[in-house]
Every structure is written in C-alpha cells, then in structure tokens.
Amino acid sequence: MHIGEGLVPYEEAWEEQQRLHALRLADEIPDTVLLLEHPPVFTAGKRTKPEDLPLDDTPVVTVNRGGEGTWHGPGQLVGYPIVKLPEPMDVVAYVRRLEEALIRACGDFSVGTSRVEGRSGVWVLGADLPDAVPDPAKQIDIGKLTLRLGLPLGIDPRLAGPEYAPSNAGQRGDDRKLAAIGVRVARGVTMHGFALNCNPDMTWFDRIIPCGIRDAGVGSLSTELGRDVPVAEVVPLVERRLAEVLAELPEPAAGR
C-alpha cells in the first residue's frame, strides 16, 4: 500500500497512477494501492450528463473512468488500486471486492452498509416505511441493466440476489451513499477506484447530482455516527480490509 501525505492534487495523483500502471503492466512492481485525500475537485466520468455537473462555475476534470460525476476533497478517503486482474478478466467481481472491503471497513465502525441492486458503491439503506407499497415504475428490471463501468457489460445476474438490497421503489426512506466506485481497466490492469466519505464538508455535494442519482442521498461515517471521523482514523482499517479482499484474487499469469 502507498499512502499519500497531505492533500494530493488530482492531476498529480493521475500522473502517479499512470506511472504505476505502466510498472505493474511490466511486472516491475506488485499490486499497489494509492490512499490519499484531494483538494476540492469535481470529476466527470464517461457517463456524466451536462445537467449533473456543478451548478456554479466550479472547474470540472474529465477523466477516463467509468461512472458519472462526483466530488473529491478533504475528509474523503480516495483509493486508487493498481491491480493486475487474472484471466479470465472479471471486472464485475473486482468491483464487488472493492465494495466488500469498504463494507467491512464501515462495519469496523459499527456502520451497517449494503450494496443496492443495480447501483455500484456502498450504501446505508433508508429506514423501512410502514405500510409502504413499492412503486413498480421505480423498480429496476435487472434483465435490461448495463453496468456503469464505462464498459457495456450487458446483463449480469450478480447485480441481484442476497448480496444486494432491492432497489428502493418507495418502500423505504432515502438511501445514503457512503462510498462511490468508478474504475477503468487498461490491458488487464486497474486504475481509478473508490471514494469513502469520512468527514467531508457535505455541502459540496449540493452543487452536483452525485453519480447522476436523483432519488437517493449522500452520507459519511461522521454523519452516520454523529461524531467526527477523520480520514486518519479510517486509513488503517481500509488498508487492512483491502489487503484481505485483494489477496483473495487468483494470481495473474506472469508477463501478461
């Protein structure tokens, strides 16, 4: 694991990712994870819509990851795993491993989180609403779903089932997204990654439509626990949980 010190400008971290990506591709370094914080910046993935961008003149950096627009800044732990995936390459399984690491790390703080059917990331589910009747118009047809990873992966039944909470069709209050995930895989090696809200200024999210999602909210470990949870407190737990789940990946073939 490589952990940045202080706030790392987004462009500087992007250059470091590219450098490490080339080294990992050549098998000159092992799998590596950058863990850091950025100064305030909005980034736009491949699926970002113009109407989801900041509602003011805040600069936006366009990036080549999957997903939509999001904010990075102080109080948010950002992770960029540079990992060589084994063959046959399974991007969905990799994303689920990132989610699992963050779910476990949130659990270390006694914050219960979940996946949500049809949506990447890590979520705190809204409270069940008594006598609520789900709205069929808001339910996700899993058979028509395309993963938002920048790659048209088509139907994937693994986005449903026991590991995923049902999509919120009005049967519970607003879900809150604690961690966003957006990845890119180039020549079998991953880039970009995740952002976990620890104790950021949450008003930054009021300026955009985070990840293009209009029917849910955004949360942090601090808002969920009602106390300040700084990034420094979270880093060692995320580092340990990432090491656990990434160690479960099969070894890739050498020289690929």
Could you confirm whether 198 is annotated as catalytic?
no
DSSP, res 172: B
Q: Which residues make Cβ contacts (< 8 Å) with residue 196, sequence separation at least 6?
A: 76, 77, 78, 79, 102, 105, 122, 178, 179, 221, 234, 238
Out of 209, 211, 231, 235, the active site residue is 211
On whether the CB atoms of residues 66 and 193 are closer than 8 A, the answer is no
Q: Do the strands 114-116 and 119-124 form a parallel or antiparallel pair, or are they unpaired?
A: antiparallel
* Token output for 164: 């995923």
Number of separate helices (H) and strands (E) present in the chain: 4, 12
- Residues acting as catalytic residues: 211
